[in-house]
Amino acid sequence: MRGFPPIQIFLLCLTFVVLAVPLSHLTGTVSHAKAAPVKVEESPSVKSLVRLRYAHKPVTLSVKIADKELIAEIGGSPIELQTTLPSPNDGVDVFVKASWAEGTPDTSITLELEPDGLATRSATRWSSSESLDEVITFEWK
């Protein structure tokens, strides 16, 4: 025994309408409020004193912060210079590369950063086989 086709079509359409009403309310209500503009704050740069100490004078020395070379010439220890640090709140990576003359024993380099308004941070790295190539990260929390 088969059902009456017009009634079956009517029940099918009624089912779709009953399901379509809640679905349209769930997916169709869109608020037309404008999104708040995203504020992009520039990272404030901070003036800082950089101090570099070493026991044995290196033959080559390179100290970089944000692809900016800080050392123009190698002088006596300590070397002090002023620079600007890019956003010390995110941490600062300092790239130190040095080499010493043959026969120089393992030696150390101490790097200090003293940004305006923040605590001084210091790090010491030891050379091995007459060279040093380090990335030193300083963080202020």
Provide the residue range defining the domain that includes 65.
Answer: 45-138
pLDDT category at 63 given cuts 50, 70, 90 is confident
Q: What percent of the chain has pLDDT over 70?
A: 91
For residue 8, being part of any structural domain is answered with no
Q: What distances in angstroms separate CA 122 from CA 22, 55, 79, 115, one per listed residue? A: 63, 16, 14, 12
Tell me, yes or no, whether 11 lies in a domain. Answer: no
54 - beta bridge partners? 109
Tell me the two tokens of residue 37.
């503009």
Q: Is residue 25 part of a domain?
A: no
Confidence band, pLDDT 50/70/90 cuts, at residue 43: low
Q: What total number of domains does the chain contain?
A: 1
- In a domain, residue 17? The reply is no
pLDDT for 39 equals: 67
On whether residue 128 sits in a domain, the answer given is yes
Torsion of the alpha carbons at 44, 53, 123 and 130, rounded to the nearest 10? 120
**pLDDT in the model for residue 41:** 58
